Amino acid sequence: MSSRIPELGEKSKNLPTILAEYADELETVEENLKIKGKRLETANYEQPGWLSHYDQRKIELYTLVKYYEGEVARVRGKLFTKYTETHSHELSDRAKDKYIDNEQAYLTMRELYLEIKEMFDQYESVVKAFEARGFALRNIVNLRVSSMEETII
């Protein structure tokens, strides 16, 4: 799968659609994580596929997180330059930071970053859940194998 950055569009106009796609996919996670009611063979067979799928989605989101970290820094840098070059009196770096923290351009970009980071964190949690599911499946298989070894023919 390729990077989602080109899909963002001008001024990130497609970001809500992209995030909605990821959010919709999270609605089926619980069903995919279930072991109960499934044959052990089926649960083991689907495990690597689901883990790989959600991990790939997490990687895509990580790329967006890093991209927006850069965008936040870019906006912050532009604003810092603005306050350095055009302000009527000399401001300390701390004062400039305070002004920047209240600029709408910075706040908007920071909000987009936080939305993507939240989605990334949710996918990171899903990947960890699938890793735990894999350990649970291994333990179940080991228990069944050891029960078979104790069977007298």
Count of helices and strands (H, E) across the chain: 5, 0
Query: How many CA atoms lie less than 13 Å away from 66 in the CB half-sphere?
Result: 9
- pLDDT of residue 93 exceeding 90, the answer is no
> Whole-number mean pLDDT of the chain?
90
pTM: 0.85
- Residue 151, judged by CB atoms within 10 A of its CB (0-12, 13-18, 19+), counts as exposed
Of the two residues 142 and 125, the one the predictor is more confident about is 125
Arithmetic mean of pLDDT, 68-80 = 95
Domain-by-domain residue ranges, the chain?
Answer: 40-149
Residue 132: what are its φ and ψ, rounded to 5°?
Answer: -65, -40
Would you state the pLDDT for residue 149?
63
CB atoms within 10 A of CB 58: 21
Alpha carbons 67 and 112: distance in angstroms, whole number:
11
